[in-house]
Structure formats: C-alpha cells, structure tokens
Amino acid sequence: MRVTFLGTSGAVPTTQRAPSAVLVNREGERFLFDCGEGTQRQMMRFGTGFDVSHIFVTHLHGDHILGIPGLIQSLDFNDRADPLAIHVPPGARGEMERLVHAGGHRPGYPVRIHEVAPGSVAYDAASFEVRTVETEHRTRSMGYALVEDDRPGRFDRERAEELGVPVGPKFGRLHEGESVELDDGRVIDPEQVVGPPRPGRRLVYTGDTRPVEAVVETAANADLLVHDATFAADEAERARRTGHSTAREAAEVAARAGAKRLALTHVSSRYAGTWERLERDATAAFDGECFVASDGQTVDVPYPE
C-alpha cells in the first residue's frame, strides 16, 4: 500500500502546497481521498497514474472537491470506459451531480455517486473495506478508514513435513484454511501447521475535523493516521471555532488510538515557511512516528509483523 500526498494545504493553495487530495495505491487499485483544485496536475507531476476507481469525499468545501470536474473531463478525453464511483456524505448527491456535470459536460463513462452515512461501509471489497467515520466540521462531513481483513497465519513448513505432508499443492490448501488427507488416511488440519491470523493494514484519513472520539476508536492501532492539523497550539481557539484541529490535538488523538504513524495535513497557509512548529507541537504529545506531510511525499504502509 502506497500513499501519495497530492495536496496538503488548508483552505487555499500556496506556492508549495495544493488543496486537499491523497492518492492510495493498494495492490494496483487506486483511490482518491478528496480531490481539491489542481489534483489532476499533481497526479501527472508525481506520477501516480490516472486509473482511479473510487473518489472518497469527506465534505463539500471547495478545497476538497473543485478538482473533480477537471479530472472527470480529462478521463473522458482519454477515452475512459470503466465506471467511476464517488462517495459523499448524506444529502450531498445533488450538489455532487451538479459538480460532475459542470459546464454542461456529460461523461462518456458511468459516474456513480453514492451517499454514505458515517459509521458504515462505503466500499466492500474481497479482502478489505473502506469504512466511514464520523467527524466534526462546519458542514456534513466524515472521514474514511481503509481496513484490510486479517491475513492467514504463518505456515510452518518444517512442522508440515514432520507430519508427512508432501511438498506441493497441499501446503497451499492448508495455508488457505482447508484440511487435507494424506495417502495413509490421516487428516491434517490447518491449526496444526498454521499460526494465528495476522492483522491486515489500517489507514485512516479524517479530512477536516475537530478531535473526535469516533476517530480515536476507528484509528485504534492504525498503521497510518492522516489527520487534520490546520493550526499550531497557540491557535487552539481558532481551530475550535472553525471546526479544525491543532497539530497537538491530532497527536493526542493518535496517542489515544495507539496509531503507529501520524501524518499531519491541511496545513494553514500562515505556516508556509514555519511548518516545523506543527511537528514540534505534535511530537510533544505523540511518541510514534510523526511528520507534516508535503506535496509529492510518498509513504509506504507495510504489513504489520
């Protein structure tokens, strides 16, 4: 799983940061989380590819959605045929439809808009889900969590051979949870040669939000938490008033959740040359790996051991 930060600015673009957008490439399938102005150019610039199957929108403020019409039209220009799914908060379908058809454009491929309630599943795939999580902003909003299923435990080849299992297809069947019968009539069960299930990966993206309990719960043991960190600690009152978080508040959420890594994003333009103070605020409250994300930065999310 590879995460590319396409836009990390808060509210308005700067010369260094574009508005909000994060691309996740999981085993070759690409997802966009928010799509601010200029996202398609950032995709070209940072070489992420354009074959996006789902766009997950946290809320309908302009800095999170104004890249959608241009991206949709460029995909059409490049003869896209595959459907594109756009997931939005409850009640936002009509506004998103108007955005998709901006300028009277009618896409030549299916664009399917799904309203999804916080606390449910936006996308249910074979080995993972993209779940929605309740957030608190100045409008209808929600975050997302990409949560993989548990993986099979480690296969103990040495033990299997001791039990007389021949090298070959039976190894794979046992690892997949199927019992096998040997030539002498004995049945070997997976529990005899396969360890306990191993967790999959968990990525949480909040979008704009105040610190909320739902994110703490959803981000429990997350491999990467991408959290709103619009302001430094001395602007805590402004963060509260505008429905955002400070870097320290984001770090406190990560610490309570037991997240492994914290990416701070949606950085206010006031910190254009002083973003290090956000990192200092956060590291005072979170012992894990913590960084202020920058445009074009790529982070690999490995499987937990």
- The answer to whether 184 is a known ligand-binding residue is no
- The answer to whether 266 is a known ligand-binding residue is yes
- The answer to whether 208 is a known ligand-binding residue is yes
User: How many H-runs (helices) and E-runs (strands) does the chain carry?
Assistant: 10, 18
Roughly how many angstroms between the first and final C-alpha of the chain, as a whole number?
15
Given 34, 63, 223, 281, the catalytic residue: 63
- The answer to whether 105 is a known ligand-binding residue is no
- The answer to whether 227 is a known ligand-binding residue is no
Q: Quick check: is 51 catalytic?
A: no
Pairing of strands 52-56, 84-88: parallel
CA distances from 219 to 204, 253, 304 (A): 6, 9, 15
- The answer to whether 175 is a known ligand-binding residue is no
Are 262 and 216 in contact by the 8 Å Cβ rule? The answer is no
Burial class (CB in 10 A: 0-12, 13-18, 19+), 2: middle
What span, in angstroms and rounded, lies between the C-alpha atoms of 195 and 192? 8
Burial class (CB in 10 A: 0-12, 13-18, 19+), 196: exposed
Q: Which residue numbers are catalytic?
A: 63
- Residues annotated as binding site? 59, 61, 63-64, 137, 208, 266
> Binding site for Zn(2+): which residues?
59, 61, 63-64, 137, 208, 266
